[in-house]
Amino acid sequence: MPLRDHFRPPVSKKASWEGFHGMWPASIVQQLRKQLPPGYVAEPRVHLGTLMEIDVGALESRAEARSADANGAGSAVGSAWTAPAPVVAVDTDPPDEYAYEVRIFDLDRERTLVAAIELVSPANKDRPESRLALVAKCAALLRKGVGVSLVDLVTIRRFNLYAQLMEFLGYPDRTMSNEEPPIYAASCRWVTRGTRARLEAWSHTLTVGQRLPTLPLWLRDDLVLALDLEQSYEQACSDLWIS
């Protein structure tokens, strides 16, 4: 069956793109369940909205605070420091991080992440900082030896994040630009050959009305699976009554 445009009628009137993007990772996991060798597992992950993580927290002990106040020592010990004026002060909204993905883990290596399939959403392409966030995330995964697949069906945004990723890494794919084509599918990996590291990429232009390609999904330097996007895509469409 051909690729649909999930962001325009008639498909957008039948099912939301959010629903489809939420369903597709689960369909990919069901497909990989039949392919993954023993010792590997796949999990779907969906993150919506702003993600915030506290790396270091400063907490006040209520008991110590009450004791200091009672003894009148609160002003002498741990007095507040006045910071200088900031160099940059701009009113802005925190960037929303939307992630629709599948992650594959090696259980024999204590659930080491070995591969990630990233399904691009409109929020990943709407602002420069959003595009850079996804590109930087994929680059970090590649540098850790994780195989990365990017699949982008977002027809309403012109940016090509795979092309931007390759430029970010310093090895541009001359077959694509940062804005064209707007939809695509690609797999990348960084592999060691002897004493040298080698970046490998497989990319496909997608077209509404045509079938989706099969991508290589690398679990190890010498272990690859066929990621049949067409099969999981059609299963997700069927489950959501998208004809």
224, 189 Cβ separation under 8 angstroms: no
Average the pLDDT over 218-231 and give the result: 95
> What sign has the CA pseudo-torsion 6, 207, 102, 43?
positive
CB 125 within 8 A of CB 157: yes
Sequence-ordered list of residues with C-beta below 8 angstroms from that of 133, at least 6 positions apart, any chain? 95, 97, 124
Nearest 10 degrees: CA dihedral of 40, 42, 172, 180?
150
Q: Is the pLDDT of residue 215 over 90?
A: yes
pLDDT of residue 33: 95
pLDDT at 154: 96
**Residue 119, CA distances (Å) to 79, 166, 184, 233 in order:** 49, 17, 11, 12
- Predicted confidence band at 178 (pLDDT cuts at 50, 70, 90)? confident
Please provide the average confidence, as pLDDT, over all residues in the chain: 86
Reported confidence tier of residue 195, pLDDT bands at 50, 70, 90: confident
User: Within 10 A of 211 (CB to CB), how many other CB atoms are there?
Assistant: 14
CB 153 within 8 A of CB 232: no
> What is the structure's pLDDT at 71?
55
Contact, 219 vs 109, CB < 8 A? no
DSSP state of 123: G
Q: What is the mean pLDDT of residues 99-108?
A: 94
Name the residue among 143, 119, 154 with its Cα closest to residue 199.
143
Q: Does the pLDDT of residue 185 top 50, yes or no?
A: yes
Provide the pLDDT for residue 1.
Answer: 74
The per-residue pLDDT for range 26-72, each reduced to its tens digit, is 999 999 999 999 999 999 998 775 544 333 444 444 544 445 455 55
The tens digit of pLDDT for each residue in 109-166 reads: 999 999 999 999 999 999 999 999 999 999 999 999 999 999 999 999 989 999 999 9
DSSP state of 229: H
pLDDT at 65: 47
Percent of the residues in the chain that have a pLDDT greater than 70, as a whole number: 83
Band (pLDDT 50/70/90 cuts) for residue 196 is confident
Say which residues have a Cβ less than 8 Å from residue 38's Cβ, sequence separation at least 6: none
Q: pTM for the complete prediction?
A: 0.81
Residue 7's Cα: distance from chain center in Å?
Answer: 20
Pairing of strands 112-120, 147-152: parallel
pLDDT the model gives residue 240:
94
Cα 64 to chain centroid, rounded: 43
